[in-house]
Amino acid sequence: MRVKALLIVLFVYPIQHIVLAQQTIPTRFWVSPGLGKATYASGMLAVGFEPQNSQSALVGRYVVDAEFIPAVEPGIKTQELGLLYGRRVRKFLFAAGLSYIKGNFRGQYLYTDPDPLMGTGRVHEYVGYKTIGIPAEIRYMASLKQIGIGLTAFGNLNDKRSFGGLNLSLYFGKMK
C-alpha cells in the first residue's frame, strides 16, 4: 500500500503540474493612433482584438490621407473606415478585409482668388466620391504589458483612389 502511494506521489502528482502549467495565450485588445506618410500626410486610428489561445485578430481602422496645407483648393483627401481580419506571427500582424472609402478630387479650374489667405488662390471644382475597397496591413508591434510602439505598412485597393503608406503607431491596452 505504501509503495502504491509512493508511486502515485512520484509519478502522477508531477504530471498533473506539467499539464496545468501549459502556457495560454491571453486575450489581447488595443487602441493604436498613428501618424505617417501615404500619398500625402496620413493619420490612423485602429482598434484590435485578439481572442484567447488564438493567433487570429480582428482590427477596425480609420485612415485619413490628405494634403495638410493645400496650395490649391479644394485639398485632396481620402478617408477609410475598414474592418480587417488577420493572423499574428510573433510580433507581426498580417490583416486584410473590407472598407468604405470617401474622399474628393479636384475637378476643373474655376477661378483664382485675388487675395488668398494661403497658397496660390487657385480654386477648382470639388469632385467627391464614395466606394468600397480592400484594405491590407502589416503591423510590427514591440510592446510591454500595456503599452507598445510599432510600424504599420498599410494600403487600400479600390476603383477610385488606391493608396499605400507607412505609419509610426503607438499601442495602448492589454498587449500581453
**Cβ distance 169 to 30 under 8 Å?**
no
Q: Which of the listed ranges 21-35, 48-62, 110-124 does the model predict with the highest average pLDDT?
A: 48-62
User: According to the CATH classification, is domain 24-174 in 2.40.160.20?
Assistant: yes
H helices of 43-160, where? none
Residue that wins the pLDDT comparison between 56 and 24: 56
Read off the pLDDT band of 125 (50, 70, 90): very high
Q: What is the pTM of this model?
A: 0.79
Handedness of CA 145, 98, 78, 164 (dihedral sign): positive
Domain ranges of the chain: 24-174
